[in-house]
Amino acid sequence: MPRPAVEKTVAGGSIRREADDGRVVSVRTEKGVETAAPRSEEAVRAASVRRQEALRRLADR
């Protein structure tokens, strides 16, 4: 059974996210639809960790 999703319109297309946790499911542009791959999810998670660490360093000054 598919999980409920929310689609939000943005400039140039739309972003579809899971309703319960906000995870990106797919992105629709004029070129087509791209679904989220496990590798891209890992990249987003890694970028989030880097940003959180940078904010902690700034707060510790």
User: Residues 39-57: pLDDT tens digits?
Assistant: 887 888 899 999 999 999 9
Rounded mean pLDDT, 8-15: 91
Rounded mean pLDDT, 11-35: 88
Please compute, for residue 22, the number of CA atoms within 13 A of its CA located in the half-sphere on the CB side: 1
- The residue range of the domain holding 9 is 5-59
User: What is the total count of domains within the chain?
Assistant: 1
Classify 46 as helix, strand or coil.
helix
Q: Are 26 and 10 in contact (CB under 8 A)?
A: no
